[in-house]
Amino acid sequence: MKLTIIRLTALSEQDIIDLGKIWPEYSASSLQIDEEHRIYAARFNERLLGAVRVTVKGTQGALDSLRIREITRRRGVGQYLLEETLRENPAVKSWWMSDVGVEDRAVMTAFMQALGFADLGNGWEKR
């Protein structure tokens, strides 16, 4: 099967299980999904390998909780996930990602800069 990036509009039982592995700190009931609050995920073989939460307000977008399952890291899944998320939201002209909860800030900074984001000390911005 091919790796695909999808916007989750409803959570299946398997999605809830997979998101629990990606984001153990969030319960399924705490994951808000609507036009302003979105979840994009990387799916392979009917399983979610990574996800990012997106908040869109007009032409501004905020990313948070970008996480890829540990066994899948360093294979381009995160890059593909972010590139497709940004591409799917062409009306957003300014993106922000906070560094709150980031496991390794130096690694994340290199990753975000490779995707065209600037390091602002407390997060990353792309215009």
| pLDDT number for residue 70 | 82
User: What's the token pair of residue 30?
Assistant: 């705490």
Q: pLDDT digits over 36-53, tens only?
A: 999 999 999 999 999 999
| pLDDT number for residue 72 | 81
The 47-57 sheet, strands edge to edge = 4-8, 37-44, 47-57, 60-68, 94-98, 123-126, 118-119
Write down the mean pLDDT value for the chain.
93
Going by C-alpha positions, the residue among 27, 71, 77 that lies closest to residue 50 is: 77
Q: pLDDT digits over 49-100, tens only?
A: 999 999 999 999 999 999 999 878 888 899 999 999 999 999 999 999 998 8
Burial (CB count <10 Å: 0-12, 13-18, 19+), residue 9: exposed
Is the overall model pTM greater than 0.85, yes or no?
A: yes
DSSP 11: -
